[in-house]
Amino acid sequence: MNTPDLRNKLKDYIDTFNADDDELYSQEIPDSSAYDFLSDRIPLLDCPDKNIEKTYYFRWWTLRKHWKNTPEGHILTEFLPPVGWSGPYNSINCPAGHHIREARWMDDPHGWLKEYISFWMERKGRTMAYSTWYASAVEDYLSLHPDPAFEEYCLDRLIDIYLERERISGHNSGLFWSEDGWDGGEMSISGSGLRPTMNSYMYGEAAAISRMSARRGRIEDSRVFARKAETIKRKMDSLLWDGDFYKVLPCSRDDVFPDDRRPAVNPDNDVREELGYIPWYFDIPGADKSAAFAYLTDENGFAAPYGITTAERSHPRFMFKHPHECLWNGPVWPFATSQTLTAAAKHLRRHGEAFITKSDYYNLLSQFARSHRLIDENGKEHMWIDEDMDPFTGEWISRNELKADNWNPGRGGKERGKDYNHSTFCDLVLSGLLGINIRYGSLIIDPIIPDEWDYFCVSNLLDKKYTVIYERNGDHYGLGSGIRIFAGSRS
């Protein structure tokens, strides 16, 4: 059997990343400790697409930088330098759902991810500052690492957080209202109102709380939150679905929609935005809405040379000029790309190749992997992840703006967005492309890889319990054709 030496592969990648790194901000795990930290903690990957493989290891390498030891336990940061809009210890809750879903794949012998989850559950940070999806992410974590006592601990606090969000963001329509900036989408075309982002999150929260309550034998809580989820879904279909896409309904906090139907919207704000795919992330739509995915690969929709645009390219206000460096009126955002690709993978597995194919998914994931680059002023290419990107040039917009402002300390200082921790990628490979999911003890492998892939291997899975190996013809690792699951690590 010719299984690869994946630890040496990991070391080669990390040595390359370290050699190219300007380590401006070091936290708990510096570059010098990156290999020792990651080699025993992350799933190790071998696959034919070396672009995806390299980016996979790069994203573990960058995520490792964001572990921070605080008096309240370990947390994951979004930015490495301190920024003025953060909470205690430079914490920001907006990407918490991404952080938990990505980091759940790490072996965690010291319980750092539990400490991070508890940080938000105990309100040590600004838990309600931005919209996010705590309960859904916690349930995703627990699906890989079942822990009834921790689930019970989180459940009471998740219910409290949900009820507080109802109090501060609930709208008389039965949905939730948000400003675009506090919904993680500054300077959007649609603006503030009833947004598919927060409302999908709140559906996901209610549905996850309902399922968690049922597992804990709390039947009445389960019923209450199942009803809340159903109400949100019904209201989203009547007020946010316009017949072919989920859109923001721009409105004030006090607007009333007495007939429970979507009203006419000012054309300046009536726009398809990438956030319209978030409902699929939480399994909200049925098969009758699948045609929305046709816009994802359409150049009049969201397809562009360097990624998925955050607003449809055919809208008159696409990429409108604004001095703010964080624009959601068209630029590519890794935050949104990872949500959309998670949604697309779920759609493919639930509804099949309806208006999007597994080849489309693979091409979009490959494009996302290739976007993790920076070409410096000398023409040298570096592995890179930052904030928003120009969809036609691949340049990092916010970085250019901040550099032109001489790295103003009031805006985050030098290279604010370098190694930005505001999206997933490793999870997109493991649960999306390779279809590795473990649901409370049951290992499921359902890949959507290209037909021409001859092999892949993932070792070190979940406390080194599993190695998953696929061969199309049986001549790469010498194990025969098909998928094989082995106990333990084979790297």
User: Do residues 432 and 448 touch, judged by C-beta distance below 8 A?
Assistant: yes
* Whether pLDDT at 464 is above 80: no
**Rg of the chain, C-alpha, whole Å:** 22
Cα distances (Å, whole numbers) of residue 377 to 374, 385, 408, 475 = 10, 17, 20, 45
Number of neighbours of residue 264 by Cβ within 10 angstroms:
6
Q: Is residue 212 part of a domain?
A: yes
Structure token pair of residue 236: 């989203």
Residues with Cβ < 8 Å from 401, sequence gap 6 or more?
Answer: 325
pLDDT tens readout for residues 73-130: 999 999 999 999 999 999 999 999 999 999 999 999 999 999 999 999 999 999 999 9
Percentage of the chain modeled with pLDDT above 90: 93
Mean pLDDT of 323-331: 95
Contacts of 99 (CB under 8 A, 6+ apart): 66, 76, 116, 137, 421
For residue 16, is it within any domain? yes
Helix (H, G, I), strand (E, B) or coil at 273: strand
For 139, 304, 327, the CA distances from 338, given in Å and listed in that order, are 18, 16, 17
Measure the N-to-C terminal CA separation of the chain; round to a whole number of Å. 12
Task: Give the pair of three-digit tokens for residue 79.
Answer: 């930015």
Cβ atoms 486, 467 nearer than 8 A = yes
Cα–Cα distance, 186 to 335 (Å, whole number): 13
- Structure token digits, residue 74: 């370990």
**pLDDT on residue 231:** 98
Report the pLDDT averaged over residues 462-481: 90
Does 120 fall in a domain? yes
Question: What mean pLDDT do residues 374-384 have?
Answer: 95
Burial class of residue 22 in the structure, from the number of CB atoms within 10 Å of its CB (0-12 exposed, 13-18 middle, 19+ buried): exposed
1 domain-assigned: no
Mapped onto helix, strand or coil, the DSSP state of residue 83 is coil
Domain CATH for 19? 1.50.10.10
Residue 73, domain extent:
6-487
Encode pLDDT of 151-208 as tens digits: 999 999 999 999 999 999 999 999 999 999 999 999 999 999 999 999 999 999 999 9
pLDDT surpassing 90 at residue 322: yes
Q: Which residue has the tokens 């007020």?
A: 239
The pLDDT of residue 148:
96
Across the chain, what does the average pLDDT equal?
A: 96
Torsion sign, CA atoms 305, 306, 312, 314:
negative
306: left (phi over 0), alpha (psi -120 to 50) or beta: alpha
Angstrom distance (rounded) from CA 278 to CA 284? 9
**Are 424 and 369 within 8 A, CB to CB?**
no
Share of the chain above pLDDT 70, in %: 99
Q: For position 442, what pLDDT does the model report?
A: 81
Is 246 part of a structural domain of the chain? yes
| pLDDT tens sequence across 333-356 | 999 999 999 999 999 999 999 899
DSSP helix/strand/coil, 233: helix
pLDDT band at 2 (very low <50, low <70, confident <90, very high): low
The pLDDT-based confidence of 374 (bands split at 50, 70, 90) is very high
Strands 44-46 and 455-460: antiparallel
CA 304 to chain CA centroid, nearest Å: 20
What pLDDT sits at residue 487? 84
Q: What is the pTM of this model?
A: 0.97
Give the integer Cα–Cα distance in Å for 256 and 259: 9
- Domain total of the chain: 1
With 60 as the cut, is the pLDDT of residue 1 above it? no
Backbone φ and ψ for 46, nearest 5 degrees, come out as -130, 120
Residue 334 contacts by C-beta under 8 Å, 6 or more apart in sequence? Answer: 368, 371, 385, 389, 420, 422, 423, 425
- What pLDDT score does 354 carry? 87
Pairing of strands 436-439, 303-304: unpaired
- Among the residue ranges 237-241, 385-389, 487-491, the one predicted with the least confidence is 487-491
Tell me what pLDDT residue 490 has.
Answer: 59
pLDDT given for residue 153 in this prediction: 98
The pLDDT tens digits of the residues spanning 17-49 come to 999 999 999 999 999 999 999 999 999 999 999
Q: Are strands 373-375 and 67-70 parallel, antiparallel or unpaired?
A: unpaired
The crossing angle, in degrees rounded to 10, of helices 148-169 and 112-121 is 30
Q: Are 435 and 448 in contact (CB under 8 A)?
A: yes
Locate tokens 């030891």: which residue? 69
Q: CA nearest 407: which of 398, 395, 419?
A: 398
User: Across residues 449-461, what is the average pLDDT?
Assistant: 95
